[in-house]
Each structure stands twice: as structure tokens, then as C-alpha cells.
Amino acid sequence: MSTKLVKNIAHLATFDDAAREIEDGALLIRDNVIEKVGTTAELADETADEVIDFSGHIVMPGMVNIHHHMYQNLTRVMVQDDELLVWLKTLYPIWSNLDDDAIGTSARVAMAELIASGCTTSSDHLYILPNNCTLDATIDAANDMGLRFHAARGAMSRGQSQGGLPPDNCVEKEEDILKDAERLISTHHDNSRHSMSRIILAPCSPFSVTPGLMKDAAALARSHKGVHLHSHLAEDLFEEVYCNDVYKMRSVGFAESVGWLGPDVWFAHSIFMTSEEIDLFASTGTGVAHCPSANMRCGQGIAKIREMLDKGVNVGLGVDGSASNDTSNMFMEARLAMMLQRVAPNKYLSETPGGRGGFGGTPSALSAREALTMATRGGAKILGRDDVGYLAPGMSADFIAIKLRQLGLSGTQRDPLAALVMCGPFKVDHSFINGRSIIENGEFVSADIDSLLEKHEAVMERIYQQ
């Protein structure tokens, strides 16, 4: 067993149940688990195999990204000015050229970008698997990069000939999808505390799968402990029209009709929800992945995050795909989540008692600490994790450190934690995942990023030439 004592932390933001923020803080870590949290003075008698001095740094839990499409960094900055429908129809043919090498390489690049921006746990929604692609390529990438990973076995089964949106060459047979999902669960799903690999079942959207696949995926997931469910929902007005025309109900009604509500379910975006539907999410424990950058990029709208939080909906943050964001920076998502709620033209915000709307000099709709809580504890809860998202004894040793003496943080001594949101986005100087040092002094400890980027360029050329 090995131990680490991290001491002299200028500002330690724990995000624990008491929301403690400790000046001159310290952490004692045994192997991959936090054993003690306190001030440097309180842990002064502790001995350790390794002592790390984080004078002049702020330390907080690693962030949790709950919605991504990692392969999309192969198609960044495309379809810059069109709506989602055009965006999808343009990119589907390019994505149909993907293979396992492309999936694995793009995943490593995405994971490196996430880790550099403070993420220590991430999901990835891989819903297009042409040319015998597998999720195993992304799981292998996570093992290589050291990222705590929830691989979402996405799927599209309803092609254009069956009334869906994706081309027929981008969809799979439903029996094949379910068979592969069972294989992935038996091979890679680890529901134990501190596990590094879990599987999620994630049919893509109401306009790319059938109700039968949604029901079968839910039944399969719930036959295994800790396998959660994920999909897109209420993302675009086109989706609402589609659900009304095809299913004769709104998208949330469709989710309810196929058994997709509950604490083991979360949806990306959830922009076009009524107050009654938000109440339904709150009462059933259904979660939401808020993706502000992608929603703004595609001009879709502003999710009612203030209302969701006030009503008790579980909300986390997602960077979404690198072709609809087009970056993967969790500090940026936290910043935009905070800013966007302050300008939301939302009737609920302006009428909430106490003036939570942020209009006319009233208090802000969303604070910096609330945004970071969504990025840490919020995402962890949605993924079903009781071992990440905050720093306390018994929790996984996933934490990040940012140097306070830098240009972007000058003058922020009054509140360095809020500064990480309000003055960012930032990259981390140090990252520890599962007790292992991944980034040290701003550089990856073992990953060769230059070689990875060179390979990524070659993969891009190959994919586009096909």
C-alpha cells in the first residue's frame, strides 16, 4: 500500500456535505482512496510515502462529464451556421466511414482534452458504429489515458426507410444491438466502488430508434446492477414535431411510455420541457445533462436549469460532441451554464419568489458554486456514483489543482473558487485520478500528446478520403 500527503493547499474546496472550503488544506490518500481531509496543521503528524506541496494552488474534486460524443473531434468546425437537422444530415455520411482505429484515436484525443480541463470521470455516447466498430476501442483508450469511464452503448436502428432520420447505412439491427450490449456488460461493467469502467445503454433519440428498442434496452439494463440508461430528449423543436406526428405525444410523454423515467435514467439537453414535465422528472428522479455550449452553437434554446434545480431535478454538465461544441472544456461548460441562466428569457425565473431571475438587479439565477456543483456532485449522482464528485474520507482520490499565481487569476484572492468559473476557462496544473498522477505541472505524465495528435491527423485524412 502506498500513501500520499498533499499539504499546504492554499484553498481546498471539498464540495462535501458541509460544502467545506479549507484554507491551508491537506489530504491524506492511501492507494486510490482519500483517508483524511483537513488543515495542514490537523494532518501534521501524518507520515506518507510521498509528500506533495500545493502551496499557491486551489484544489477541488475532478469534474464529471455526463454527455459526450468523442468521435466527433474528427469533424470539428463543420456545418457552422445551420440547424441541427442539416448538421446531422451533413455529418452522417462522413461518420459512416468510421472504424475502430478512428474511434480509439479520437477517444484518446477527447480524453486528453477533458483531463486537461479538469475532468476525471466521463461518459461517452457512441451511437454510430459502422464497419464493425465497437465500444471496446473507447474503453481501451480510457484504460490507456487513466480516465474513469462510463461507456454508453448507443444505437440507431430506425433508418430513413423506416421513417427515421439517419441513413440506412448508419443503423444496426436491434437484435445485434442488444446482443452486443449484453456482451459489453458482461465484459466491462464493474459496479464496485472506485471502479474505473461501467457500461450504459443509450439508444440515440426518438427519431432514430423504435419504441421496442427503448423498452428492450431498459429491461436489459435493469436486469444488471448499476447499468444506467441515457439518451437525447427534448433537444430540438424538430424532435417535438416528430414525436407528435409519429407517436402522438410529446417527447417526454414518449420517454414515459417506454419506461424511461427513473433515477437510473438521464437525458441530454431537455430544453423543450414544460413545468409539468420538469415536475415529472423531479418526482421520478430522472436526470438531465445540461450542455450549454452545444445548445448555443446550434441555436436550440436555453434549458430551464434554475427551475429544474429548484424543483429537485438532478442536473449535471456535459460538453457534448466536439462537432457541436466544438471543444471539451468542463470549466467552460460551468461558466456558460452560469452565464446562460442569467440571461434566460424564462417566465419561471422572473416570477419565482425572491427574484431568482437575475433581472432588474435581483440575485443571480445561477451561482458559480452551483455551476461547479453540477459539474462535480451533480454529474456523479446521475451516473450512480457514491465515490466521486467530492473530497471526503472514503471517496476516490480524484482531484485537480490549479496554480493561483497566473494572469487569468490575478486579483481573485477574495474568492478563488468562484474565479475558476468567472475568470476561465482554465487548464489544470495537476490531475490525480484514482490516486494516480495523470498531469503534473501542466504536462501529461505518460501520454505522448504530440504523437497522438499526429495519428489523429492521419486518421482524419483517411476518413475524409473514403
85-106 as b/e: b if 16+ CB within 10 A: eebbeebbeebbebbbebbbbb
What pLDDT sits at residue 358? 36
| Domains assigned to the chain | 3-62+387-444 (2.30.40.10), 63-382 (3.20.20.140)
Q: Based on the number of CB atoms within 10 Å of its own CB, is 79 exposed (0-12), middle (13-18) or buried (19 or more)?
A: middle
C-alpha–C-alpha distance, residues 229 and 135, integer Å: 16
Angle at 144 between CA 143 and CA 146, to 5 degrees: 65
Q: Based on the number of CB atoms within 10 Å of its own CB, is 354 exposed (0-12), middle (13-18) or buried (19 or more)?
A: exposed
What pLDDT sits at residue 363? 45
C-alpha–C-alpha distance, residues 9 and 222, integer Å: 42
Q: Which three cell numbers stand for residue 136?
A: 471496446
pTM: 0.94
Q: Which three cell numbers stand for residue 412?
A: 481573485
Q: Which three cell numbers stand for residue 145?
A: 489515458
What pLDDT sits at residue 357? 38
Residues in the chain: 466
C-alpha–C-alpha distance, residues 23 and 6, integer Å: 13
Q: What is the pLDDT along the chain (466 residues), one digit of tens a residue?
A: 799 999 999 999 999 999 999 999 999 999 999 999 999 999 999 999 999 999 999 999 999 999 999 999 998 888 888 777 788 888 888 888 899 999 999 999 999 999 999 999 999 999 999 998 999 999 999 999 999 999 999 999 998 899 888 888 889 999 999 999 999 999 999 999 999 999 999 999 999 999 999 999 999 999 999 999 999 999 988 899 999 999 999 999 999 999 999 999 999 999 999 999 999 999 999 999 999 999 988 888 899 999 999 999 999 999 998 888 888 999 999 999 999 999 876 555 545 444 443 333 334 589 999 999 999 999 999 999 999 999 999 999 999 999 999 999 999 999 999 999 999 899 999 999 999 999 999 999 999 999 999 999 999 999 887 6
What pLDDT sits at residue 325? 84
Q: Which three cell numbers stand for residue 287?
A: 436526470
C-alpha–C-alpha distance, residues 419 and 45, integer Å: 32
C-alpha–C-alpha distance, residues 227 and 383, integer Å: 9
Distance from chain centroid for Cα 99:
24
What single letter denotes the amino acid at residue 225?
K
